[in-house]
C-alpha cells in the first residue's frame, strides 16, 4: 500500500472501503496482516452471512486459530460478554431473555425523559456562541442513557465518573479491527492505563447499583431494575451479577456512543442544507407549537423521522459488521476460506447507486411513506422490490441492535426538541477525518454556532 493510500485509510476508513467497492466490485480482498479479510457488498451474500447462514460465522474476528484465547478483544475487555460481543448459544440465550425488556410499549415510557433532557440541554445554549457540537451531543446522549438505564441525572457523581472513565475517540477500542489489537492492549501505554482505571471505576458504579437494587423493593422502572427481573423460562434462573454488569455496560457504551454521533451528523447535514432545515422547522412548529414532544406526536413527525433516518443512512454509527468464517464458505461463486474475516459495511451498502440514487445526496424525502411524482426520490426507500438489507443502520438478523426502536425514538425526540428554538451553523471545512473504531464520529469534534430561531 502506497503512502498516499495509507493516509487516506487513516483519515477515513469507511470512505476508503467505499472506493475499494467502486473500483473492484462486490467482493474485495483487503490486507489485514496474516488474516484474509473480505469486504462483501453483494446483497445476496450479505443476506446469507448476516441472516440465512449466520450460524456459520462468529463475531470474534480476532480469534483466528485453535486453542484457548482468553485475552479478549479490546471491545470485549469493556463490554464483557454482553449482547454486542457474546457469540453462539450464549448470545442466543441472552438475547431471548433480554428482548422483552425492549418491548415498544416499555420503551415508549421513556419518551418524556428524552424530551425533558433535550430541553434541559437546549436551555444551556447561548445565541451566537461557537462550541464543540459533538461534545454537547455526547453530553446529551450520556444524560439520556444514564437516566433511562440507571435513573441517575447527568450532574450526579455516578454520571460524572462514567463521563471521565474512558479516553475519548476510542482509546484502545481503535485496535478492535487490528490483527495486533490484543497485543497492543497488553502494552503499558498511557491510554491503556487510563482505560483500565476507567473500567474499574465504571465496574464499581454498576456493581454498586446492582447490589442496591437487589436490596430494594424491585419496582424500579430504569432498565437495570427491569433486567434484574428477567427470568429464564426453562430454568427459572435470573441474570447473574456478572451478566447484569456486562449487559448494563453494553447498553451504556452503545447507547451514548451511537446517539451522540448520529445527532451530530444529523445537525451537520441540516446546517449545510438550509432548505431541508426549514422544512423540518415547519413540521416541528405545526405539530408541537411551543410544547415539548411526546411519544404520541411521533406519527406526525414524519419528516423529522426521515431526517434522522437519512442521517443514519449517510453516517451509520455501526459502520461495519465483522464476522469470521467458521468453515470454508462459498456463495454466488465466491470462495472464502475458513477463519477469513468478512466485513459487511452499512456505510458502503448505503452508497450503492443501484439502490440509492444520488447516494451522496442528503435527501430525507427518501424515507417519507408516500411517493411524489414530481420528485422520484420521495418515498424511494419505501418502495417494494428493494433488497431487504439495502438499509441496515442497526444491523440485521439475529444480531440486530436490540435497542433499535429505543435509538430511533431517542434521536427523533431530541431532534424535535432542540429544533423548536434553535438551529446550528457548521464552522470551517466539512469534517474529513472520522474516527471509525467503535462507532463513526467526527475526529476532534465538530464546531458549530448556535442561533436562536426568530
Catalytic residues: 258, 394, 401
Helix 241-271 vs helix 404-418: crossing angle, to nearest 10 = 40
Half-sphere exposure of 450 (CA within 13 A, CB side): 20
What residues contact residue 115 under an 8 Å CB cut-off, 6+ apart? 292, 293, 294, 413, 416, 417
Residue 215: count other Cβ atoms within 10 Å of its Cβ.
8
Taking the C-alpha atoms of residue 231 and residue 228, their distance in angstroms, rounded to an integer, is 8
Go through 273-287 and write b for each residue having 16 or more CB atoms within 10 A of its CB, e for each that does not: beebbebbbebbeeb
For residue 296, what are the contacts with CB-CB under 8 A and spacing of at least 6?
A: none
Decide if 150 contacts 219 (C-beta within 8 A). no
Q: Which residues pair with 447 in a beta bridge?
A: 132
- Stated as kind and residue range, the H or E segment containing 447 is strand 447-452
How many Å is the Cα radius of gyration of the chain? 22
Any known ligand binding at 202? no
Residues sharing a CB contact under 8 Å with residue 85, sequence separation 6 or more, in sequence order: 59, 60, 73, 75, 76, 79, 250
Long-range pairs for 184-192: beta carbons < 8 A, 24 or more residues apart: 185/71, 185/74, 185/77, 186/71, 191/167
Q: Which residues of 29-63 are buried (b: 16+ CB within 10 A; e: fewer)?
A: ebebeebbbbbbbbbebbbbbbeeebeebbbbbbb
Cell numbers for 447: 464546531
Q: Residue 246 corresponds to which cell in the numbers above? A: 456486562
Residue 132: how many CB atoms within 10 A of its CB?
15
Question: What single DSSP character describes residue 441?
Answer: E
347 in Cβ contact with 338 (< 8 Å) = no
Strands 321-325 and 57-58: antiparallel
Residues tagged in the binding site annotation for heme: 401
Amino acid at each position: 500500500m502506497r503512502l498516499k493510500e495509507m493516509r487516506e485509510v487513516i483519515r477515513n476508513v469507511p470512505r476508503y472501503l467505499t472506493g475499494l467497492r467502486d473500483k473492484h466490485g462486490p467482493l474485495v480482498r483487503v490486507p489485514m496482516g496474516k488474516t484474509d479479510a473480505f469486504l462483501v457488498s453483494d446483497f445476496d451474500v450479505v443476506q446469507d452471512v448476516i441472516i440465512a447462514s449466520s450460524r456459520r460465522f462468529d463475531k470474534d474476528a480476532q480469534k483466528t486459530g485453535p486453542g484457548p484465547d482468553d485475552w479478549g478483544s479490546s471491545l470485549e475487555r469493556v463490554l464483557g460478554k454482553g449482547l454486542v460481543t457474546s457469540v453462539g448459544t450464549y448470545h442466543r440465550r441472552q438475547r431471548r431473555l433480554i428482548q422483552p425488556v425492549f418491548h415498544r410499549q416499555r420503551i415508549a415510557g421513556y419518551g418524556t425523559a428524552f424530551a425533558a433532557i433535550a430541553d434541559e440541554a437546549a436551555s444551556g445554549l447561548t445565541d451566537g456562541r461557537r462550541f464543540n457540537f459533538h461534545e454537547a451531543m455526547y453530553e446529551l446522549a450520556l444524560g439520556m442513557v444514564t437516566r433511562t438505564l440507571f435513573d441517575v441525572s447527568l450532574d450526579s457523581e455516578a454520571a460524572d465518573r462514567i463521563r471521565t472513565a474512558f479516553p475519548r475517540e476510542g482509546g484502545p477500542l481503535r485496535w478492535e479491527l487490528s490483527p495486533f489489537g490484543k497485543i497492543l492492549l497488553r502494552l503499558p501505554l498511557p491510554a491503556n492505563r487510563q482505560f483500565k482505571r476507567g473500567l474499574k471505576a465504571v465496574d464499581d458504579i454498576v456493581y454498586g447499583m446492582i447490589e442496591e437494587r437487589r436490596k430494594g423493593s424491585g419496582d424500579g422502572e430504569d432498565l437495570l431494575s427491569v433486567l434484574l427481573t428477567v427470568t429464564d423460562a426453562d430454568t427459572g434462573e435470573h441474570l447473574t451479577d456478572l451478566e447484569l454488569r456486562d449487559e448494563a455496560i453494553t447498553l451504556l457504551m452503545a447507547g451514548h456512543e451511537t446517539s451522540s454521533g448520529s445527532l451530530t451528523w444529523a445537525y451537520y447535514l441540516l446546517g449545510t442544507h438550509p432548505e431541508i432545515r426549514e422544512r423540518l422547522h415547519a413540521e416541528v412548529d405545526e405539530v408541537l407549537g411551543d410544547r415539548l414532544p411526546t411519544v404520541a406526536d411521533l406519527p406526525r413527525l414524519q419528516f423529522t423521522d426521515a431526517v434522522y433516518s437519512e442521517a443514519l443512512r449517510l453516517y451509520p454509527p455501526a459502520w461495519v459488521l465483522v464476522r469470521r468464517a467458521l468453515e470454508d464458505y462459498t456463495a454466488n461463486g465466491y470462495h472464502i476460506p475458513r477463519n477469513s474475516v468478512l466485513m459487511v459495511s452499512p456505510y458502503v451498502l448505503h452508497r450503492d447507486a443501484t439502490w440509492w440514487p444520488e447516494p451522496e445526496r442528503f435527501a430525507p424525502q427518501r424515507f417519507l411513506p408516500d411517493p411524489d411524482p414530481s420528485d422520484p426520490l420521495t418515498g424511494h426507500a419505501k418502495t417494494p422490490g428493494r433488497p431487504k438489507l439495502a438499509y441496515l443502520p442497526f444491523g440485521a438478523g439475529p444480531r440486530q441492535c436490540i435497542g433499535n426502536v429505543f435509538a430511533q425514538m431517542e434521536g427523533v425526540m431530541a431532534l424535535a426538541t432542540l429544533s423548536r428554538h434553535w438551529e446550528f451553523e457548521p464552522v470551517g471545512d466539512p469534517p474529513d477525518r472520522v474516527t471509525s473504531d467503535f462507532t463513526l464520529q467526527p475526529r476532534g469534534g465538530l464546531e458549530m454556532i448556535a442561533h436562536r430561531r426568530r
